[in-house]
């Protein structure tokens, strides 16, 4: 049986480390390896050059799917004066993404940090420090974004990120419920969920009411390091058991995208992307060949 998910290559496979990959090369690599789609980092709505190059690269690649990671601020007191501008900026990026592909997905999050703290204990930052006004602003922003993607017929999800207002699965579920979201679904980044001390273990995270609607799962691993406090690693390395997590998701019938990330890994971007692709497919093949190897098989 074929893997039931689209495999998406994320833009950070090509970022940082003094590398300069044009869009045409990034998407050609994704297609050559066998990925189904590509997720872009945010491009400012007035950056016609980047949008034109990205659109041309997507159309030339033959990839089936594309999406964009879109981040807004405007929730904190010190950036609340930018709330309307941030909302307009996000909507304009979504409009341009829809023009690139009418079936695109929006991977959305809110970066304002009510805790204003970079502590390694992430329970002292983000949503844990949010007060009523921060939640009200978050819900208002989400309601607007949800209405916009719904009108355009796009799919969308939230993205958990340490230090952000949307930092945990619980924060996502609360925000989506209060916003009465019609289209936006919860999404999980394995890396941020694993290293946030306020998140439960993955099987408990997925048992929360509302997580059955999961619409996005991003994979990246890492090592704990006291000073950093973590270092990203390829998905077949590090502390995160990506295989067991996927075993649970597949057992629960998850068919949404699986997004391969590579934040700060460096090196040969083609080999990093192929290593991730091959490993993801090998996990599915293993569990199909012998379901007893899946710790979450019934």
Question: Distance (Å, rounded) from C-alpha 221 to C-alpha 56?
Answer: 32
Task: State how far the Cα of 252 lies from the Cα of 88, in Å rounded to an integer.
Answer: 37
CB within 8 Å of 164: residues ≥ 6 apart: 109, 110, 111, 112, 113, 126
Is residue 229 one of the residues assigned to a domain? yes
Reported as a single tens digit per residue, the pLDDT across 167-222 is: 999 999 999 999 999 999 999 999 999 999 999 999 999 999 999 999 999 999 99
Q: Which domain holds residue 145?
A: 7-293
Residue 162: which of 221, 113, 201 has the closest Cα?
A: 113
Q: Using one digit for the tens of pLDDT, what is the confidence trace for 6-57?
A: 999 999 999 988 999 999 999 999 999 999 999 999 999 999 999 999 999 9
The verdict on residue 243 lying in a domain is yes
Is residue 298, in this structure, part of any structural domain at all? no
Residue 199 lies in a domain: yes
Give 243-297 pLDDT, tens digit per residue: 999 999 999 999 999 999 999 899 999 999 999 999 999 999 999 999 999 999 9
Whether 35 maps to a domain, the answer reads yes
Rounded Cα–Cα distance for residues 100 and 93 (Å):
11
Say which CATH number the domain at 240 has: 3.20.20.150
Which pTM does this prediction carry? 0.96
Residue 57 token pair? 């690269």
Quote the number of domains for the chain.
1
pLDDT (tens digit per residue) in 138-175: 999 999 999 999 999 999 999 999 999 999 999 999 99
| Domain membership flag for residue 39 | yes
pLDDT at 230 over 80: no
Whether 259 is covered by a domain: the verdict is yes
- 1 occurs within a structural domain: no
């Amino acid at each position: 049986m074929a893997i039931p998910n689209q495999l998406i290559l994320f833009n950070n496979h090509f970022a940082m480390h003094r590398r300069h990959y044009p869009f045409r090369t990034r998407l050609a690599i994704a297609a050559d390896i066998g990925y189904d789609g590509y997720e872009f980092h945010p491009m400012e709505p007035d950056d016609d050059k980047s949008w034109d190059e990205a659109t041309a690269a997507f159309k030339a690649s033959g990839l089936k799917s594309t999406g964009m990671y879109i981040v807004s601020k405007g929730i904190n007191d010190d950036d609340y004066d930018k709330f309307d501008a941030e909302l307009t900026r996000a909507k304009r990026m979504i409009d341009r993404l829809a023009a690139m592909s009418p079936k695109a997905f929006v991977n959305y999050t809110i970066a304002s940090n009510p805790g204003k703290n970079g502590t390694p204990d992430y329970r002292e930052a983000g949503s844990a420090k949010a007060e009523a006004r921060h939640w009200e602003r978050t819900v208002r922003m989400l309601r607007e974004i949800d209405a916009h993607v719904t009108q355009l017929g796009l799919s969308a999800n939230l993205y958990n990120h340490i230090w952000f207002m949307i930092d945990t699965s619980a924060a996502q579920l609360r925000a989506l419920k209060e916003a009465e979201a019609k289209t936006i679904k919860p999404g999980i980044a394995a890396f941020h969920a694993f290293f946030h001390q306020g998140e439960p273990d993955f099987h408990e995270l997925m048992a929360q009411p509302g997580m059955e609607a999961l619409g996005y799962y991003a994979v990246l691993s890492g090592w704990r390091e006291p000073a950093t406090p973590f270092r990203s690693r390829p998905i077949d390395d590090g502390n995160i058991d990506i295989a067991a997590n996927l075993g649970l998701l597949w057992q629960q019938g998850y068919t949404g995208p699986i997004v391969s990330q590579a934040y700060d890994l460096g090196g040969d971007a083609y080999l990093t992307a192929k290593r991730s692709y091959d490993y993801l497919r090998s996990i599915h093949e293993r569990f199909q060949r012998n379901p007893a190897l899946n710790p979450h098989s019934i």
